[in-house]
Copies of this chain bind each other. A is one copy, B any other.
């Protein structure tokens, strides 16, 4: 399962994100699966600083940015009734994960008696800042300030993406462990009589969204949450699942909360919560639609990795890995390489074309900077594993007649194209894929 990380540290590299399957893998197994040395694999999975969150390399970072960007476009930018908000990760009241300045505390506690110590600690857990575990509370608090904006008209939504801290089973040497997760949350306020339909609507919408970017859409599914597993205060729940090789995992959870959480947040003052539902005034019901973006990124990586059987020129069968990420999500759209020849001139052409791509918003990989010799085949193997959509090859003949070679990742077909056409070709290809 780790094989797609072959280009070292390009994608995501953290032990935590890969956890469902990695934590149960022995060093022996890891060596096997990576096909490399143990050293090399350590290199991928976890780096110097052991955090409890995901560390992303350059490609992983762009992939996650693209996923977040597509989420925001679908949920906020395209929906006039959804508004983005941004609330702090830490707050003074509520929550059990408290932040403490260790050095200052150590200094203060040194000379205290037992009773004083306990009192001091008790205070600490009353007043110190705490970290959020979900984005729901922030949206519930922003409900009243938003009412003016939406003229108290239902339905509407408040959306936010950001870090949350998920508590984890404790280890012996620490008090409270947690994992850092990027969540993307929509909190939807609607009339009580339509809340169930809205839950179905959003579950459908979200599943469609995940599948839109999938190579194998059937690995994404939804299921109802059993009544005994319902979250406190929820009357219904739906999950979007992904079928990882190691088992099914939840990517996104939708809860229907009724009005209790909203009332509680605003101390039961119904009057200021009233919204217009046609001609009636109601306290809205709350739906929470929240995705684990880090796990989502992992799902897209798994989903788009394809093993392709090939026979090489010497009739040996071998397997190639192609990361067929959706064109919109692929972190690198085009790689630029040059053949052998008059290096400095070819390089100039590459640099000009690279700048043209970057300015048009096409993320491009400057492969020509790597002056160590690689065969065409090994370049394609590398770029296929990176998920690069197209490889453009600049050769001596480009200098003569302006023609270059374009290879398509998905079809492996190579086309000859004039250098003046390549930018439009790429832009068209990407925007066509977006609109499917």
* Contact across chains for B58 and A84 when beta carbons are under 8 A apart: yes
Identify the stretch in A98-106, A251-259, A313-321, A391-399 within 8 Å (CB) of chain B at 4 or more residues: A98-106
Closest to A266 in B: B48
* Contact across chains for A100 and B175 when beta carbons are under 8 A apart: yes
* Contact across chains for B127 and A173 when beta carbons are under 8 A apart: yes
Q: How far is the CA of A10 from the CA of B146 in the complex (A)?
A: 8
**B80, B130, B163, B358: the one within 8 Å of A366 (CB):** B80
* Contact across chains for A8 and B106 when beta carbons are under 8 A apart: no
* Contact across chains for B88 and A180 when beta carbons are under 8 A apart: yes
* Interface SS, A side: mixed
CB-contacts of A43-58 with B (<8 A): 43, 47-58
Is A250 in contact with chain B by the CB < 8 A criterion? no
Closest to A150 in B: B369
0 or 1 for each of A144-179: is its CB under 8 Å from B? (1 = yes): 011011010100000010010101001001111110
Is A92 in contact with chain B by the CB < 8 A criterion? yes
Contact partners of A167 in chain B: CB under 8 A: 101
* Contact across chains for B88 and A131 when beta carbons are under 8 A apart: no
Is A194 in contact with chain B by the CB < 8 A criterion? no
Contact partners of A92 in chain B: CB under 8 A: 49-52
In the complex with contacts A100-B100, A370-B151, A49-B137 CB distance below 8 A: yes
CB-contacts of A25-66 with B (<8 A): 43, 47-58, 60-62, 64-65
CB-contacts of A99-149 with B (<8 A): 99-106, 108-109, 113-114, 117-118, 121-131, 137-138, 141-142, 145-146, 148-149
Q: How many residues of A are in contact with the other chain, CB < 8 A? A: 102
* Contact across chains for B78 and A102 when beta carbons are under 8 A apart: no
0 or 1 for each of A360-392: is its CB under 8 Å from B? (1 = yes): 010110100111100000000000000000000
Closest to A158 in B: B58
* Contact across chains for A106 and B122 when beta carbons are under 8 A apart: yes
User: Separation in Å of the A277 CB from the closest CB of chain B?
Assistant: 15
Residue numbers of A with Cβ under 8 A of B are 8-10, 13-14, 43, 47-58, 60-62, 64-65, 72, 77-78, 80, 83-94, 96-106, 108-109, 113-114, 117-118, 121-131, 137-138, 141-142, 145-146, 148-149, 151, 153, 160, 163, 165, 167, 170, 173-178, 180, 265-266, 354, 358-359, 361, 363-364, 366, 369-372
A-B pairs with beta carbons under 8 Å apart, 16 shown:
A47-B142, A56-B86, A57-B83, A77-B363, A78-B359, A98-B102, A99-B131, A99-B178, A101-B170, A105-B121, A123-B173, A124-B174, A127-B173, A129-B177, A151-B370, A153-B369
